[in-house]
Amino acid sequence: MIKTVIVVSFLMLTLNACSQSDIELLYSDLKINLPGEFTLIGNVGGNDNILIIRYGDEKGKKYVAFTDMTNDKSLDYGCPVKVFFEELFSGSNDSGCNAKNLSIFRETFVDNKEVEVWKAGSYIVNYSGGKGKSFVFVSGDDGKLVKVDSDFLKKEHYKKLLRDI
């Protein structure tokens, strides 16, 4: 009898958690409000710090991916991360940031894209959207850099997703 009560209680809690419209995720010390009803969560592991959440059954479709790029040494920004992304999304290059990488990032994330910059808590959020993909780069004074990308989220979704960071 006690086993049945425990199993039923566990199932009720599980079903309740799965039916929530938003799920709170703590990723790289950022509090994120994920849309509920996802179908799969995957962690790439290793030093890549990539977390992928899929909504639906089709592989490679309807995903939200998080990448903590804070300690990524493969990119030479030539200046603090926050300054690099400020320069990237403002179109200037006044602070001595790596001009080549700025140009590559600008071509990929700014040119012919919808872009917007807003503040969320103590972080700056740089949004880039177009052609079925969207990205945000969340940067902080402490050098934190988290990239979030998706093939279905729009700017309004990101604002809701990141409102409590």
Q: pTM (2 decimals)?
A: 0.83
- Rounded to an integer, what distance in angstroms lies between the CA atom of residue 110 and that of residue 127? 9
Say what the pLDDT of residue 109 is.
96
pLDDT of residue 120: 94
Tens of pLDDT, residue by residue over 3-20, are 433 333 343 444 444 555
**Which segments in the chain show pLDDT lower than 50?**
1-17
How does DSSP classify residue 79?
Answer: S
- Structural contact between residues 136 and 124, judged by C-beta atoms closer than 8 angstroms: no
Max intra-chain CA distance, the chain: 71
Residue 45 confidence (pLDDT): 72
Q: What is the pLDDT of residue 16?
A: 46
The residues spanned by each domain of the chain are 22-159
Provide the token pair at 7.
């199993």
Q: What's the pLDDT score for residue 20?
A: 54
